[in-house]
Structure 1
Amino acid sequence: MGGQLKAKINESLASVLPITGIILLLSITVAPLDAGVVVLFLFGSILLVFGMGLFTLGADMAMLPMGEGIGVQISKGKRAPLSLAVCFLLGLLITVAEPDLTVLATQIPTIPNMTLILAVGVGVGAFLAISMLRMLLQIRLSHLLVFFYAVVFLVAAFAPNSFIPAAFDSGGVTTGPITVPFIMAFGIGMASIRSDRRSSEDSFGLIAVCSIGPILSVLLLGICYEPSAETSAVSFYEITTTKDAVGAFGGALGLYLREVAAALLPIVGICFLFQLIFRRFQRAQLHRIVVGFFYTYAGLVCFLTGVNVGFMPAGQLIGGEIAGSGCRWLLVPIGMLVGYFIVAAEPAVHVLKKQVEEISNGSITQKSIGLGLSAGVSVSVGIAMLRILTGVSILWFLVPGYILSLVISFYVPPIYTGIAFDSGGVASGPMTATFLLPLAMGACGALGGNMMTDAFGIVAMVAMTPLITIQTIGLIAELRRRNAGKDLVGQLLNTEDCILYFDLEETAPRS
């Protein structure tokens, strides 16, 4: 186990180092930061590395086998209404406990935090049940997505314009580090008992469908509540010495110890009841799962403490410094560079890439998924910075983007559609909510823009562009496969012609 932990920490170090280097370079060039903020950032980076390493190991040991086991057992159930009710309850509990959702709720004024959190939880629960129904009825994912996104944009037409970016942001942040591993494994478990060729395709897509529920829920809330343009600013710590920095992290540590415990307890309770009723795991497996939950807990505490205390202030200050300078258009290329590397620091991204490679038997590699995600997030952050500079409505990007991604879904293998739409939710995790969103808010504040319409929406963009890039990879792979098939057929035909020619030569009468 020590070797596995070391490998995971080395993997997280390789993911965090590039974005750390970029931010430090910005802090000594175009966006000078106070020494105290830099110290917080460096301490946060260290916690990020260890937290991600512990979390990914814990997810492999506990979250994935438990989620898969529950998915298998629910699929075996003969009572569909009961299974759908269990899906709804699972989706509600794990979403209400998601730390990313709390971060977003505190940023949206007018709506009470608990009202927003419960509405989003109900949305995820309802659409997790719909995902199970899709598997049972074997409905193609692209058809379901076309229908529900048509409903989303229809409802958006009646919601206040200032609320639309926050609504689409909610669809991204709800699929965070706790939700993603469990729901992904849950889907793999539900699909695994089927022996048909579409079972591997249906392993993906649950996160994609579940991301729609929060968008609809928040849009409906927007019709009931009129949001203001005021948002809560990031509170900065007064840091003059390294001792002050340690004190800041120590104070935040207690908060996240409680928050992560509250987030994981519902899942642990569900797993305990599941094991008590079905006795699926043996003693050695249970011991490994229990240890895995401790790793998951410790990893999330370290990760969230590091990213919230260390990265959030740095993001807002860098955004404000660049936007307030004479080179405000640097926001676009700098945003694209940050976006390209920051997605690798999302803990759930590592879980997704590993699951994709395993389910596809290596035909879809971790490297190709990583490149597709990085390219997509890079473009999305660049567009988000462009929106802050120009004030262009987010609908000018979301509507064509979703139409394009849904059209592509009919021309690629279904497994790529599931992976792409899942990737959108996975990419918009805690790093987006606690660094990219403050970066956008800092830039928007320096330019005097509207926070609700201009700064919000960056999470939605991060969740949307991977749908296009990942499916484009699938489309290229499909075209290559078809061309290779044509070449093979041509070679076989030529071979047959040669054989026929030699046969005719052999059978021809000799003079």
Structure 2
Amino acid sequence: MILLEKLKEAAISVIPVMGVVWLLHFTAAPLGAELGRFLAGGVLLVCGLAVFLLGAEIGVVPVGQRAGSALTSRRNLPLLLGAGFVIGFFITVAEPDVHVLAQQVSAVDPGISHLVLVGMIAVGVGIFVAVALGRIVFQISLRLLLLGFYGLIFACAAFTSPAFLGVAFDAGGATTGPMTVPFIMALGVGVAAVRGGDGRNDSFGLIGLASIGPVLSILLLGMLHTGGDGAAQAVAGPRENGLWGHFLALVPETAAEVGMALAPLAGLFAVFRLFLLRRMTRFRLLRVIMGLIYTFLGLVCFFVGVKGGFIPAGGALGRLMAVSHPAWLLVATGVALGALAVLAEPAVWVLTAQVEEVSGGSIRSRVILVTLCIGVACAVGLAMFRVAGGLSLWFFLLPGYALALGLTFVCPPMFTAIAFDSGGVASGPMASTFILAFTLGASGGLGGNPITDAFGVIALIAMTPLIAIQALGILYGRALRRPAASARPEATAPAAGEGTHVE
């Protein structure tokens, strides 16, 4: 049964994170009552993740692929680009991760409006989804676009308010969450399939380009912002009302947020059904509806577990590790949590499965997962090192992105596209909830300024996979060339008296 397979995948993803926190509770950072809520939240997380993955597989992804194919087959460029903007805007407004990040930013610095942040992020994503679709149509080099737009990003970052630097780069990562990634990636696959050309390369890169839009839009907002400087404030958690009462109290608010997330998506599906997918059979339509229902239930369960268990425990764990232990142990804890937390990102599983499918099985999903784990582990470790030392985010972003963009010149194009997509999907719900809460707690425990010290961890999580996946691509390319080079002399000059033979 598919649901049992998804439950197994989700359990394998989440249980290691729970194990690390449980071990820390009994050794270095006793969490008290928070441990029980964390473990209960983990159970909800596993169930929610499994149901969400099932819903995305049968409902969201197929509609995205068919919509992309239908839009491209119309041969109407304004329609394609306009639809790309609308899809990117409404899915981002509906993305729960964006609201989680915006709420945490507003809690730390009330001078930064939650609604303004969400609106600016959505506009940025909409514009760059249209840019990404135009790239596929006109076969524009992804490398040139990345170099040009990241040059613009760093030019704007030099003039923006310091309080917005980390928030802007974090927004680029949080945007690509469990709702955005499956639909936008499927849309790109559909467009690339109809457009022709190098479909393997064109199928990826949309998420990487879409992540640029929020960074630019928030940097521009930072140039105009005249609010506070982000003085550290405590982020209130939900009130205690018994173990399960604690979670049940979160259900109405979470269900409303997820309903807001899915309502625009359901509206888009209805529009596609009326104007683009008229030949969709009743059976397929019922599968889409069931997929949306599963997605709704899965996300509600997932975010109730995250808000009720993972965020409070992450903040408490960060404070305890920062106050009671040396900095090296805080960094080591960050490395362990980063390596395991990326496995619990719903969008990571969607991306790795699509990479294996599009590559015809030549790129195994497990290889991508291991590479992402290494990259995110380094990212969270660097974030803890930055919090402990009070270092500027510039010291990490400038050399990191310089290396990532430099690798685009020697990495196979498809791996470059996968790498920039991976940077977005690795920084999803677990990063914007548990890891960010852990970093905020550590910053508060050390007496730092969260708006400048803690925000930026998602940016580092989004940056390191760019380097790790491209390094994997370079190794993959060399491995392919080596057998071809060794086989060439035998093929051209067989031994005397022998013919060529293929088994």
Supply the RMSD in Å over aligned alpha carbons: 1.5
**Counterpart Cα distance in 1 of 2:349 and 2:464:** 19
Deviations 1:331-357 (CA, angstroms, capped at 9, x unpaired):
111100111011001111111111110
Q: Secondary structure at the match of 1:193?
A: helix
Asked if residue 139 in structure 1 is aligned to residue 140 in structure 2, the reply is yes
**Counterpart Cα distance in 2 of 1:256 and 1:464:** 30
Deviation of 1:408 (Å) = 1.1
**Counterpart Cα distance in 2 of 1:89 and 1:17:** 38
- Name the counterpart of 1:150: 151
**Counterpart Cα distance in 1 of 2:82 and 2:234:** 39
**Counterpart Cα distance in 1 of 2:130 and 2:237:** 41
**Counterpart Cα distance in 2 of 1:455 and 1:67:** 35
- Name the counterpart of 1:225: 225
Residue 321 of structure 1 aligns to which amino acid in structure 2?
Answer: L
- Name the counterpart of 2:112: 111
Q: Secondary structure at the match of 2:183?
A: helix
CA contact (8 A) 2:232 2:448 kept: no
**Counterpart Cα distance in 1 of 2:205 and 2:86:** 19
CA contact (8 A) 1:69 1:280 kept: no
- Name the counterpart of 1:97: 94
Greater Cα offset, 213-222 or 228-237: 228-237
Greater Cα offset, 393-402 or 121-130: 393-402
CA contact (8 A) 2:58 2:287 kept: yes
CA contact (8 A) 1:413 1:478 kept: yes
Asked if residue 336 in structure 1 is aligned to residue 330 in structure 2, the reply is no
Residue 269 of structure 1 aligns to which amino acid in structure 2?
Answer: G
Deviation of 1:81 (Å) = 1.5
TM-score (norm 1): 0.94
- Name the counterpart of 2:202: 202
Asked if residue 54 in structure 1 is aligned to residue 51 in structure 2, the reply is yes
Deviation of 1:288 (Å) = 1.1
- Name the counterpart of 2:363: 364
- Name the counterpart of 1:444: 443
Deviation of 1:82 (Å) = 2.2
CA contact (8 A) 1:107 1:231 kept: no
CA contact (8 A) 2:161 2:225 kept: no
- Name the counterpart of 1:130: 131
Deviation of 1:231 (Å) = 5.1
CA contact (8 A) 2:315 2:440 kept: yes
**Counterpart Cα distance in 2 of 1:329 and 1:104:** 27
TM-score (norm 2): 0.96
Deviation of 1:131 (Å) = 0.6
CA contact (8 A) 2:89 2:126 kept: yes
1:378–1:502 distance in 2 versus 1, CA, 3 Å: closer
- Name the counterpart of 1:507: none
**Counterpart Cα distance in 1 of 2:216 and 2:81:** 20
CA contact (8 A) 1:12 1:50 kept: yes
Residue 259 of structure 2 aligns to which amino acid in structure 1?
Answer: A
- Name the counterpart of 2:13: 15
Deviation of 1:18 (Å) = 0.6
CA contact (8 A) 1:48 1:303 kept: yes
In the TM superposition, what are the counterparts of 1:83-482 in structure 2 within 5 Å? 83-108=80-105, 109=109, 110-196=111-197, 198-226=198-226, 227-230=228-231, 233-237=234-238, 239=240, 244-278=242-276, 279-482=278-481
1:231–1:263 distance in 2 versus 1, CA, 3 Å: farther
**Counterpart Cα distance in 2 of 1:231 and 1:352:** 36
Q: Secondary structure at the match of 1:33?
A: coil
**Counterpart Cα distance in 1 of 2:233 and 2:248:** 23
Residue 162 of structure 2 aligns to which amino acid in structure 1?
Answer: N
1:237–1:82 distance in 2 versus 1, CA, 3 Å: closer
Residue 371 of structure 1 aligns to which amino acid in structure 2?
Answer: V
Deviation of 1:238 (Å) = 5.2
Gaps of 5+ in 1: 504-511
**Counterpart Cα distance in 1 of 2:420 and 2:196:** 24
Q: Secondary structure at the match of 1:169?
A: helix
In the TM superposition, what are the counterparts of 1:3-82 in structure 2 within 5 Å? 3-34=1-32, 36-82=33-79
CA contact (8 A) 2:14 2:45 kept: yes
**Counterpart Cα distance in 2 of 1:502 and 1:186:** 52
Greater Cα offset, 104-113 or 442-451: 104-113
Q: Secondary structure at the match of 2:249?
A: helix
For this pair of structures, how many residues does the alignment match?
493
Deviation of 1:414 (Å) = 1.1
1:340–1:326 distance in 2 versus 1, CA, 3 Å: closer
Deviation of 1:459 (Å) = 0.3
- Name the counterpart of 1:509: none
**Counterpart Cα distance in 2 of 1:234 and 1:47:** 23
Runs of 4+ in 1 over 6 A off after TM superposition: none
CA contact (8 A) 1:234 1:313 kept: no
Deviation of 1:502 (Å) = 8.7
**Counterpart Cα distance in 2 of 1:68 and 1:502:** 50
The sequence identity of aligned pairs, in percent, is 44
